[in-house]
């Protein structure tokens, strides 16, 4: 039986013919956009940026088969990741929404220097049939070989970015080692860039800085200082109306206000994300002494640091709203007194002070409650008792100053421990390098490494301890000097409560169960005042 050759002919439906005609019409013109970016805002780069925008606009419009879909741009932004590139992100969103068919860009390095970002973005676009053309590499992403080429080229671009980042970091650290530094002047109160490139004092702003330091040393908390600055309408370093506790603390603890500069407090942990971390010894730091004019005297600055450390154990001393907070101690349980409001909704409203643990422990503290007039009157009595012979008291303070000013022994001790630490670090470094050059018993290596590491850490703890001793002694010296200034200005007898004297002279008050108040003054003097029975509040 003869076989017949079968012929099959497809007869298109009218609907499919109509759709094919529509698709053909749509495909006649591809919607084409371009992406241009420069990573700095220098004049040279801006010219390049403008040239790119102009070129792509004319290039797309001159092609009769293309429909101009816009030029998306990012100016002065690094390409190491895409999170902050608004133009890039808007372009990708428009492409995924079906507004773009083809994206033109100069090179992979202009598109992104992060392999992951590049491939992720390209694949998202491919899913929507959106093509990207990289002019320099001559790569079309919808081409079969496109993704392999992109992976290779993106990796090369990423390594280039790493190399640039490392070179920049090296340059910055070299400048630091040479004693060169710069400030973020727009965000820094009290200084502007001088003609010699170094910080120059702005006197109007410096007055605010000195006011902050003065108030803190007089006993005000950072919260009280922040509220005061806000109430006076003084703008923050960032130009904001409201001052925060953290802003005041940063001014009180920044060594640049005493004319020194600690460099590399933070470092860039990841060159791709540009994430910054606090430097806890991961990279070197550089301390430049007397690097620029000081707004705050070094001795005053050291006193403030000592006072900050003194208040740290109880954070309420940093944030309190009353001069009595964290200064009145219960003689029975050792806790602090706190301010309470009595009769808050009546005309008899008043503040009283009582032990914060009075009704919280199984055994109720029997120390008495106090009102503020009674505390003030007791201080006046205690201060007058302490003063006694004013001249003799001042003479005793003056004898203490030379002893407190002499930190020679501590500084010699610091030099010795620092030299010991440097030697240990050198030994540790050499030991690590030896392990990379020659194969060793790793168990023995780890044991020896741990021993050296422990010794280094112990030396570091010694250095930190001596630093705190020097700071405490310097702070004590300045505190005594401050007390002397207050004593010389006050009369022989204090008649009324003086907030300045209270803040500068009183360390604490201990309230005893027999209604005795024991005042501890800054110089270590203790004075007991017996409260009369009629002042009893509770």
Residue 189 maps to a domain = no
Among 151-160, 431-440, 488-497, whose mean pLDDT is lowest? Answer: 151-160
Decide which of 251, 279, 310 is a domain's last residue: 310
Predicted confidence (pLDDT) per residue in 179-235, tens digit: 555 677 788 898 888 887 778 899 999 999 999 988 887 767 888 899 999 999 999
CA-based nearest residue to 327, from 508, 479, 458: 508
Same domain as 286, residue 435: no
Kindly give the pairing relationship between strand 370-371 and strand 350-355: antiparallel
Higher pLDDT, 363 or 210: 210
Same domain as 336, residue 305: no
Measured CA to CA, the distance from residue 291 to residue 258 in angstroms comes to 10
Among 56-60, 344-348, 530-534, whose mean pLDDT is lowest? Answer: 344-348
Higher pLDDT, 257 or 160: 257
User: For residue 469, what are its two tokens?
Assistant: 């001793």
For the chain, what is the total number of helices (H) and then of strands (E)? 16, 18
Predicted confidence (pLDDT) per residue in 501-534, tens digit: 787 778 889 999 999 999 998 777 889 999 877 5
Phi and psi, residue 268, nearest 5°: -85, 110
Same domain as 134, residue 257: no
Residue 151 maps to a domain = yes
Same domain as 278, residue 341: no
Q: How many domains does the chain have?
A: 3
Residue 409 maps to a domain = yes
Phi and psi, residue 351, nearest 5°: -100, 135
DSSP-derived secondary structure for 403-428:
HHH--HHHHHHHHHHHHHHHHHHHHH
Residues 6+ away with beta carbon under 8 Å from 354: 337, 338, 340, 367, 369, 370, 538
Write out the residue range of the structural domain in which residue 100 sits: 14-165
DSSP type of residue 368? P
Same domain as 212, residue 155: no
Among 33-37, 61-65, 301-305, 429-433, whose mean pLDDT is lowest? Answer: 429-433
Measured CA to CA, the distance from residue 137 to residue 153 in angstroms comes to 8
Residue 396 maps to a domain = yes
User: For residue 209, what are its two tokens?
Assistant: 């800085």
Same domain as 74, residue 25: yes
User: For residue 145, what are its two tokens?
Assistant: 């070989």
> Which of helix, strand or coil describes residue 339?
strand
Residue 321 maps to a domain = no
In degrees, rounded to 5, the angle at the alpha carbon of residue 470 between the alpha carbons of residues 465 and 475 is 120
Residues 6+ away with beta carbon under 8 Å from 67: 29, 30, 31, 32
159-182 mean pLDDT: 54
> Which of helix, strand or coil describes residue 340?
strand
Same domain as 467, residue 347: yes
CA-based nearest residue to 104, from 80, 140, 78: 140
154-169 mean pLDDT: 55
Measured CA to CA, the distance from residue 305 to residue 12 in angstroms comes to 87
For residue 45, what is the domain's CATH number? Answer: 3.40.50.1390
90-111 mean pLDDT: 89
Residue 282 maps to a domain = yes
Same domain as 138, residue 269: no
Same domain as 505, residue 371: yes
Residue 289 maps to a domain = yes
pLDDT band with cut points at 50, 70 and 90 for residue 479: low
Residue 510 CA neighbour count, 13 Å, CB half: 11
pLDDT-above-70 percentage for the chain: 70
Higher pLDDT, 473 or 354: 354
Same domain as 225, residue 143: no
Same domain as 401, residue 488: yes
pLDDT band with cut points at 50, 70 and 90 for residue 67: very high
pLDDT band with cut points at 50, 70 and 90 for residue 28: low
pTM of the full structure: 0.46
CA 190 vs CA 153, 297, 325, 428, 441: distances in Å: 48, 14, 31, 43, 57
Measured CA to CA, the distance from residue 173 to residue 448 in angstroms comes to 31
Q: Are 122 and 96 in contact (CB under 8 A)?
A: no
Measured CA to CA, the distance from residue 112 to residue 120 in angstroms comes to 11
Angle at which helix 245-253 crosses helix 203-217, to 10 degrees, equals 100
Q: H-helix or E-strand containing 468?
A: helix 442-489
pLDDT band with cut points at 50, 70 and 90 for residue 242: very high
Q: Which neighbouring-strand residues pair with 262?
A: 287
CA-based nearest residue to 159, from 82, 83, 78, 271: 271
For residue 222, what is the domain's CATH number? Answer: 3.90.1750.20
Measured CA to CA, the distance from residue 170 to residue 403 in angstroms comes to 45
Residue 188 maps to a domain = no
How buried is 381 (Cβ within 10 angstroms: 0-12 exposed, 13-18 middle, 19+ buried)? middle
Measured CA to CA, the distance from residue 453 to residue 421 in angstroms comes to 11
Measured CA to CA, the distance from residue 156 to residue 169 in angstroms comes to 20
Same domain as 208, residue 146: no
Kindly give the pairing relationship between strand 102-105 and strand 131-134: parallel
Q: Are 434 and 259 in contact (CB under 8 A)?
A: no
Using only C-alpha atoms, the chain has a radius of gyration, in whole angstroms, of 36
Residues, the chain = 538
Q: Is the pLDDT of residue 392 over 90?
A: no
């Amino acid at each position: 039986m003869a076989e017949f050759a079968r012929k099959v002919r497809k007869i298109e439906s009218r609907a499919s013919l109509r759709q094919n005609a529509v698709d053909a019409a749509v495909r006649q013109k591809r919607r084409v956009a371009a992406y241009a970016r420069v990573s700095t805002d220098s004049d040279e780069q801006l010219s390049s940026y403008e040239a790119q925008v102009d070129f792509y606009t004319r290039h797309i419009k001159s092609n009769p088969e293309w429909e101009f879909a816009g030029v998306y741009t990012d100016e002065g932004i690094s390409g190491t990741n895409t999170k902050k590139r608004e133009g890039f992100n808007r372009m990708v969103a428009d492409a995924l929404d079906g507004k773009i068919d083809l994206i033109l860009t100069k090179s992979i390095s202009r598109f992104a220097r992060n392999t992951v970002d590049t491939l992720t973005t390209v694949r998202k676009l491919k899913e929507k049939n959106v093509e990207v053309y990289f002019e320099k590499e001559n790569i079309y992403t919808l081409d079969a070989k496109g993704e392999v080429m992109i992976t290779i080229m993106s990796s090369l671009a990423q390594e280039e970015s790493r190399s640039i980042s490392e070179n920049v970091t090296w340059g910055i650290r070299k400048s630091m080692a040479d004693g060169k530094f710069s400030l973020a002047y727009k965000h820094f109160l009290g200084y502007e860039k001088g003609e010699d490139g170094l910080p120059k004092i702005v006197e109007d702003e410096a007055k605010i800085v000195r006011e902050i330091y003065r108030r803190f040393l007089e006993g005000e908390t950072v919260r009280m200082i922040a509220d005061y600055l806000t109430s006076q309408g003084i703008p923050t370093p960032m130009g904001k109306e409201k001052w925060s506790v953290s802003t005041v603390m940063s001014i009180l603890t920044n060594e640049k206000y005493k004319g020194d500069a600690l460099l590399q407090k933070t470092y860039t942990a990841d060159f791709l994300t540009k994430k910054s971390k606090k430097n806890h010894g991961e990279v070197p730091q550089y301390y430049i002494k007397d690097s620029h004019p000081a707004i705050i005297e070094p001795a005053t600055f050291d006193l403030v640091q000592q006072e900050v450390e003194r208040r740290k154990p109880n954070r309420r001393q940093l944030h309190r709203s009353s001069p009595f907070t964290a200064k009145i101690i219960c003689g029975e349980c050792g806790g602090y007194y706190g301010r309470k409001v009595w009769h808050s909704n009546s005309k008899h409203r008043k503040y009283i002070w009582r032990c914060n643990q009075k009704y919280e422990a199984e055994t109720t503290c029997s120390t008495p409650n106090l009102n503020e007039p009674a505390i003030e009157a007791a201080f006046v009595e205690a201060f007058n008792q302490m003063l006694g012979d004013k001249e003799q008291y001042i003479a005793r303070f003056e004898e203490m100053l030379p002893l407190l000013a002499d930190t020679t022994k501590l500084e010699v001790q610091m030099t010795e421990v620092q030299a010991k630490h440097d030697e240990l670090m050198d030994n540790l470094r050499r030991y690590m390098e030896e392990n990379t050059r020659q194969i060793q018993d790793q168990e023995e290596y780890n044991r020896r490494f741990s021993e050296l590491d422990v010794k280094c850490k112990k030396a570091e703890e010694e250095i930190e301890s001596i630093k705190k001793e020097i700071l405490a002694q310097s702070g004590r010296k300045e505190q005594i000097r401050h007390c002397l200034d207050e004593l010389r200005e006050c009369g022989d007898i204090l008649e009324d409560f003086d907030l300045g004297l209270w803040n500068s002279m009183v360390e604490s008050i201990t309230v005893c169960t027999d209604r005795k108040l024991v005042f501890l003054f800054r110089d270590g003097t203790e004075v007991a005042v017996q409260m009369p029975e009629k002042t009893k509040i509770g």
